[in-house]
């Protein structure tokens, strides 16, 4: 057995009430003037972070938005300069953490990530930025947070439906890690554990959003899935979602939720060993199981429900195929168009 496994050097603090250790983590990094980054909807949690940091909280920027538009990053960069900050704390989901990464890319400032969703991007050296209607993804060690503080309590306010789509977004990272070109046994173990934890936890959160056990299991699964995303390459699913999100301004986790079963169905015939692994976690039809899980968590199952026009399907197909990239199954225009069409309609997945 031959493989290469490279672990990313993030420090992870996981548990309940761990936000209270945020000041200690900032002190350990030698940070005195921190910029707190969040979305407008998460200013309450940003203020909670500020209260934990005390005098170390130098400034707040609560204007992060999805897909990390370059123009928003440029506005935040002005705040970085004016406030003379020496580090960044991003609190929230992928939008806030993405902005924190974009600032780190430009400044090489240390980051502390405080995730409040199950997106998993906090565990990756990957940054996706949007400019002029196109999303560009790059990998750079500068954007990997130095510390990630997972606090189960901060996820209790995440609405059940958003918890479901955020969790399915995380599952997508692990699914593609299983058939990544540079996959390895360690990442596959984490991927299967993460998928199992999330598929068990998400229905429980739907039944009782205050179930701390289910919330903890979901956050644990999200951490594992995010670690997979940061450790190996991705394939057609992530390419499609970045294309759809960046080109048509579709919501991130909802797009991942819709596309995942279809992308998996497309690839499974080319990776029978992965199909066997997923059957052990998801049952005899893994793609259909993820489609049904989306229904269980109340997610939209058609891209048309997110506002994408049917006339954009051909454009999406062309953009998805524009730049060659690795995928376990050859990328062909007609089957990819059929995949996107089924995802647009909200139909069950199938392999062409």
Q: What is the pLDDT of residue 273?
A: 97
What integer is the mean pLDDT of 229-239?
Answer: 94
Residue 351 — pLDDT band, cuts 50, 70, 90?
confident
- Angle (CA) 222-344-192 rounded to 5° is 25
Give percent of the chain with pLDDT exceeding 90. Answer: 88
Phi/psi for 137 (5° steps) reads -110, 135
pLDDT digits (tens, 9 = 90+) for 76-99: 999 999 999 999 999 999 999 999
- Angle (CA) 126-132-133 rounded to 5° is 75
pLDDT digits (tens, 9 = 90+) for 197-232: 999 999 999 999 999 999 999 999 999 999 999 999
What integer is the mean pLDDT of 132-142?
Answer: 85
Q: What is the pLDDT of residue 193?
A: 98
Taking the domains of the chain in order of start, what are their residue ranges? 11-155, 160-345
pLDDT digits (tens, 9 = 90+) for 268-285: 999 999 999 999 999 999
Structure tokens at 162: 């958003």
Higher-pLDDT residue of 172 and 243 is 172
Residue 242 — pLDDT band, cuts 50, 70, 90?
confident
Nearest Cα neighbor of 50 from 30, 33, 67, 27 is 33
Give percent of the chain with pLDDT exceeding 70. Answer: 100
pLDDT at 3 > cutoff 90: no
Higher-pLDDT residue of 323 and 58 is 58
pLDDT digits (tens, 9 = 90+) for 110-131: 999 999 999 888 999 989 898 8
Residue 134 — pLDDT band, cuts 50, 70, 90?
confident
Nearest Cα neighbor of 77 from 11, 139, 132, 129 is 129
What integer is the mean pLDDT of 143-170?
Answer: 96
Superfamily of domain 160-345: Dehydroquinate synthase-like - alpha domain (1.20.1090.10)
CATH number of 11-155: 3.40.50.1970
| DSSP string computed for 232-258 | S---HHHHHHHHHHHHH---HHHHHHH
Do the domains 160-345 and 11-155 match in fold?
no
Phi/psi for 90 (5° steps) reads -105, 120
Query: Is the model's pTM score more than 0.85?
Result: yes
Cβ-based neighbours of 126, under 8 Å, separated by 6 or more: 137, 138, 139, 143, 229, 230
Q: What is the pLDDT of residue 67?
A: 87
Distance set, CA 209 to CA 119, 161, 288 (Å): 18, 10, 25
Residue 256 and residue 300 in contact, taking contact as beta carbons nearer than 8 Å: no
Residue 36 and residue 57 in contact, taking contact as beta carbons nearer than 8 Å: yes
Q: What is the pLDDT of residue 132?
A: 81
């Amino acid at each position: 057995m031959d493989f290469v496994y490279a672990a990313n050097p993030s420090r992870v603090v996981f548990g309940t009430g761990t936000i209270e250790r945020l000041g200690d983590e900032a002190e350990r990094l030698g940070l005195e003037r921190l910029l707190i980054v969040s979305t407008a909807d998460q200013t309450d949690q940003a203020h909670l972070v500020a209260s934990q940091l005390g005098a170390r909280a130098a400034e707040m920027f609560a204007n992060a938005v999805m897909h990390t538009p370059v123009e928003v990053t440029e506005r935040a960069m002005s705040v970085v300069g004016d406030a003379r900050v020496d580090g960044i704390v991003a609190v929230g989901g992928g939008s806030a953490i993405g902005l924190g990464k974009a600032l780190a890319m430009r400044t090489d400032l240390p980051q502390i990530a405080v995730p409040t969703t199950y997106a998993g991007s906090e565990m990756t050296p990957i940054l996706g930025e949007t400019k002029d209607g196109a999303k560009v993804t790059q990998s750079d060690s500068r954007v990997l947070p130095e510390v990630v503080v997972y606090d189960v309590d901060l996820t209790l306010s995440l609405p059940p439906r958003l918890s479901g789509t955020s969790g399915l977004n995380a599952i997508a990272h692990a699914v593609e890690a299983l058939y990544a070109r540079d996959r390895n046994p360690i990442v596959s173990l984490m991927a299967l554990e993460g998928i199992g934890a999330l598929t068990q936890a998400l229905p429980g959160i739907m039944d009782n959003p205050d179930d701390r056990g289910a919330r903890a299991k979901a956050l644990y699964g999200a951490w594992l899935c995010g670690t997979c995303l940061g450790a190996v390459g991705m394939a057609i699913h992530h390419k499609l979602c970045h294309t759809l999100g960046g080109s048509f301004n579709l919501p991130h986790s909802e797009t991942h939720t819709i596309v995942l079963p279809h992308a998996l169905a497309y690839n499974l015939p080319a990776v029978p060993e992965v199909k066997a692994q997923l059957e052990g976690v998801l049952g005899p039809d893994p793609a259909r199981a993820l489609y049904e899980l989306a229904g269980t968590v109340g997610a939209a199952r058609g891209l048309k429900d997110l506002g994408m026009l049917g006339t954009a399907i051909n454009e999406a197909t062309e953009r998805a195929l524009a730049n060659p990239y690795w995928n376990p199954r050859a990328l062909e225009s007609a089957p990819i168009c059929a995949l996107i069409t089924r995802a647009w309609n909200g139909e069950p997945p199938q392999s062409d």
